[in-house]
Structures are given as structure tokens and as C-alpha cells.
Homo-oligomer: A and B are copies of this chain.
Amino acid sequence: MVEVCLSPELIHLYEVKSKIVVVIDILRASSTIVTALESGVVAVRTEADLTACKALETQQYEAAAERNGEPIEGFRWTNSPLQYYQNPESNGIKLALSTTNGTRCVQLSQAADTILIGSFLNLQATAEWLNRQEKDIFLFCAGWKGKVSLEDSLFAGALLCQLSAKPNPQCDASTMVAQLWNLHRDNVTEFLAESAHYKRLNNKGLAEDIQFCFRQNLFTENIVILHEKDFVKQAI
């Protein structure tokens, strides 16, 4: 069965134990982690705290961070997928990434059996892999500072509609996101231009970055999965 949680503020109402959790933070942590790993980065550690993130440099991680769409002084890498994509300097590095919304979902999912990162960029690969598993699936939207976000909800709908597992009939959020996807599957970019976070980032000149986050199935061969403390890619 599949369930959808629209915000980290609602997670206490659900049970993630023994489930496969898909963490969804489309703008942009999910998209960045997936792109980094598909661009040669070998491992991504997520850290909520900036200082803890920076401290990982002593363990051969390179530090990446951003707050409110702005780069942070002293951090070479940011939360922009385009900084990693087709960048030879990504190759072979380990990354410690500090973001607010997405990282929190990872922390809140520790009881899960498995944690994946879902993004439009690896949508189909993620669905294919999930469709071969037996466990219950939990789609966990990061939202924006606790509030429901359009882009994460829409992606949850997109993934749900590709799963062979059925939505939990107790879960109205599943119906909502599936409806949203069925309505907007052919105009994703236009629809997501209505998202509050899209507007925030667009106002910061990040339009190209956002467009990249909405590309579907650019990466088709791997899932992104938490292995011990790091996210890594794994062939489906």
C-alpha cells in the first residue's frame, strides 16, 4: 500500500517503520542530490545544521549549503543541481549538503526500512524499482517550512500514478495528489509556475535551475538510496 504525507508537520500521524520512504523536496534538495550522484559525486550526506555540515570537511566531504536560495560564504557548493550537472569537478567527491526542508524529512524517517530520494529527474527509475518491492511505500513531501507545497505534492501524485501498489483507502492525501497529477501531467511547468517556492526562486534569478528540476527522466538507470549514513546511487 502507498500513503502520502504532505508535510513534515504531519509525520507524527503516520507510521513509517518497516516502510520504504521516498523523500520529496523537488525545489531543490531532491533534484540536487539526484543530479550530484548522477554527475560523479559518490556519496551525499544530508545535515540540517550548517556547522555540522562544514565539520564533515574533516572526513573528506565537500560542504554544500544554501539558505533561502542564497549561497553561504565558506561553502563551495550550493543547492543548485546545475552546479553539479556535467561538471568534471563533481567527479569522485563526497558531498555534505545542508538544506532545511528535505534534510528534516530524512531525519524524521529514521525508523523506515529504506529511504529513497525522489525527483522528476529520476521518476520512472524510482517507480520501476519500487514496483519490484513488497513493502509498503510512504511518499513524504518536504513542503516549505512545514506548509504544503505544490511541486512536492504534484510529484507525489506523479510517482503514485506509476506505482502498482494501491493507495491506502484511509489516505485522502493520496487521492488529492493523484488528481492534481492527472490534471496537470501535460502542463507541469506552467502549473508549477503557480507554486509559491517557484516564485521565490524565480525572483532570485534561478529560472534555469527550476526548469532543470522539472525535467522528467533525465536519469533512468538508478535509484538514490540511503546506505548507512550516505545517499548513493544504485542500479535499478
Contacts and interface: CB of A to CB of B under 8 A. Distances in A.
A147 B173 contact: yes
Interface residues of A, number: 30
Contact of A169 (B146, B170, B196): B196
Determine how many copies of this chain the complex contains.
2
A196 B148 CA distance: 20
B183 A196 contact: no
A169 B199 contact: yes
Interface string A146-174: 11111001000000000000000111110
Per DSSP, chain A at the interface is: helix
A6 interface: yes
Contacts of A111: none
B179 A183 contact: yes
Contact of A13 (B6, B13, B145, B199): B145
Interface string A217-232: 0000000000000000
Contacts of A175: 150, 194-195
A10 interface: yes
**A-B interface, 7 closest residue pairs, ranked by CB to CB distance from nearest:** A150-B172, A170-B196, A13-B146, A148-B173, A149-B172, A175-B194, A172-B196
16 contacts: A7-B10, A9-B12, A10-B146, A13-B146, A144-B172, A147-B172, A148-B172, A150-B172, A150-B175, A153-B176, A170-B196, A172-B194, A172-B195, A172-B197, A179-B183, A179-B184
